[in-house]
Amino acid sequence: MMLQKALRVLSSRGRPNGQGIGLMSRSISGNAVSSQELIEYESDYSAHNYHPIPMVFSKAKDVHVWDPEGRKYLDFLSAYSAVNQGHCHEKILNALSQQAQQLTLSSRAFHNDIFPIFAQHLTSMFGYEMILPMNTGAEGVETALKLARKWGYEKKHIPKNEAIIISCCGCFHGRTTAVISMSCDNEATRGFGPFLPGLLKVDFGDADSLKSMFEAHGDKVAGFLFEPIQGEAGVIVPPKGYLQSVRELCSKYNVLMIADEIQTGIGRTGKLLACEWESVRPDVVILGKALGGGVLPVSAVLADKDIMLCFKPGEHGSTFGGNPLASAVAIAALEIVEEEKLAERAAEMGQVFRSQFLDIQKAYPHIIKEVRGQGLLNAVELNAKGLSTVSAFDICQRLKERGVLAKPTHGTIIRFSPPLTIRLKELTEASKAFKDVLEHDLPNMQRQSEGNAPHSPPEPCDRCGRIK
């Protein structure tokens, strides 16, 4: 009763004329709060650091979500591939519930009886000797960067404070200060300097450029950080043989090959790791997102002992990293991927998806520039001229109205990454919705936007001056 009274007081603050009184108490008592009210409250009280599609998640199961009004949608974003196992998988929820009643947190100041089991399961599943557990993907990347530097000084004998990390143009590894220091996204970098030194860039998919960089700086390069497929950049798939070339170059120049598999890993592309498509074993692998099964943030860095043991006690850690609750959830999440053969499903369903969307491209070649992807990590790139003054965000809003949730990136690209549990019927439903948007909704949107100023062309990168 005291909590409900306090929430009623809080809910009445900050709104003129008593607007919104009782919003929280209505929600707590189980009475419906509309999507529009919730969106307005989020806009009022939360930082505007995202530009979400105007749809509110209220309930979810497997590949579907529902809004507060009870409307049902197909989820084709999967929380940026964090929900590979499907929303609210029963096995994960059972693991969460059982462990939550037993032990939730020990910190790493002490041992707990679940983390060692998680560590052994993860290392054996992915073929590495050790893990370092963290929480978010961004923390995993930071861990890998620190590990590479430490290894560079201890094992490669790079002069003090001169270690270099190379990454790729168009990369996305998170939004920490270290990561945006290697970003090509002006929105991520402007207003946040000065940036971290010791970071160089090469074009993604260009092994010759990487070779030249190693030739020029190889004695000081500790690591090469890359995504096997660039997700945020628009699902950019590198040329065949690129990953093998990277492996050979990193071995030749004694540089750690660091694969950010936070989005591409755990079955998303049709293999446990996307690097497996070229039979490549990186020195360091970063996992996150689906490692927590869409329930808790769980991330981990994988490496062998000769690399990982460069970290000594006290040099890196996290209060919540490796906590027993997250460990239990992650074990269940990994077991589901194996038991339900989700990587194999992703490979099979991904081929179906691209086939269906390539058929749509044939019908609308002036609108669809390219369909690309691997497994169930896919994108449709649209022609700016074909869209006219309509954006990919507008297309996604119309898709939402037809019951399919997807998210645009870079103005003309729409990513499609459903849970790996998706079935043929649901893929077909999504492709039909997309075709209907192009056939029926797009012409109407174009007529309504006649006379509007065309979209501004992309700006050149502050870092390199090029337009990607």
Q: How many CB atoms lie within 10 A of CB 269?
A: 29
For 48-60, the pLDDT digits (tens) are: 988 899 999 999 9
- In this structure, are residues 94 and 88 in contact, taking their beta carbons and an 8 Å threshold? no
Is cis: bond before 194, omega within 30 of 0? yes
For 100-122, the pLDDT digits (tens) are: 999 999 999 999 999 999 999 99
pLDDT at 25: 56
Q: What is the mean pLDDT of the chain?
A: 92
Structure tokens at 304: 């062998």
- In this structure, are residues 147 and 311 in contact, taking their beta carbons and an 8 Å threshold? yes
Checking if the pLDDT of 3 tops 50, the result is no
Q: How far apart are the C-alpha atoms of 98 and 453, rounded to whole Å?
A: 56
Question: At which residue do the structure tokens 């003090």 appear?
Answer: 160
- Tell me which residue of 318, 435, 301 sits closest to 368, measured CA to CA: 435
Sign of the CA dihedral with 450 first, then 452, 453, and 459 last: negative
Q: How many CB atoms lie within 10 A of CB 454?
A: 11
Checking if the pLDDT of 129 tops 90, the result is yes
Checking if the pLDDT of 12 tops 60, the result is no
Checking if the pLDDT of 32 tops 90, the result is no
pLDDT at 229: 98
Per-position b or e across 330-357, b if 16+ CB within 10 A of its CB: bbbbbbbbeebebbebbbebbeebbebb
For 365-406, the pLDDT digits (tens) are: 999 999 999 999 999 999 999 898 899 999 999 999 999 999
DSSP 186-251: HHHHTTS-SPPSSEEEE-TT-HHHHHHHHHHHGGGEEEEEE-SSBTTTT-BPPPTTHHHHHHHHHH
- In this structure, are residues 408 and 393 in contact, taking their beta carbons and an 8 Å threshold? yes
Asked which of 31-45, 147-161, 309-323 is least confident by mean pLDDT, the reply is 31-45
pLDDT band at 30 (very low <50, low <70, confident <90, very high): low
pLDDT at 216: 97
pLDDT at 464: 73
pLDDT band at 187 (very low <50, low <70, confident <90, very high): confident
Checking if the pLDDT of 47 tops 70, the result is yes
If DSSP codes are grouped into helix, strand and coil, which group holds residue 426?
helix
If DSSP codes are grouped into helix, strand and coil, which group holds residue 378?
strand
Checking if the pLDDT of 251 tops 80, the result is yes
Structure tokens at 326: 């997250």
Checking if the pLDDT of 127 tops 80, the result is yes
Checking if the pLDDT of 364 tops 90, the result is yes
Checking if the pLDDT of 83 tops 50, the result is yes
Q: Which residues are catalytic?
A: 172, 260, 289
Report the predicted TM-score, pTM, of the whole model to 2 decimal places.
Answer: 0.93
Q: How many CB atoms lie within 10 A of CB 409?
A: 18
Name all domains of the chain by residue range, CATH numbers in brackets.
Answer: 90-339 (3.40.640.10), 342-448 (3.90.1150.10)
pLDDT (average), residues 140-162: 98
Question: What distance lies between CA 233 and its chain's CA centroid?
Answer: 11
Checking if the pLDDT of 337 tops 50, the result is yes
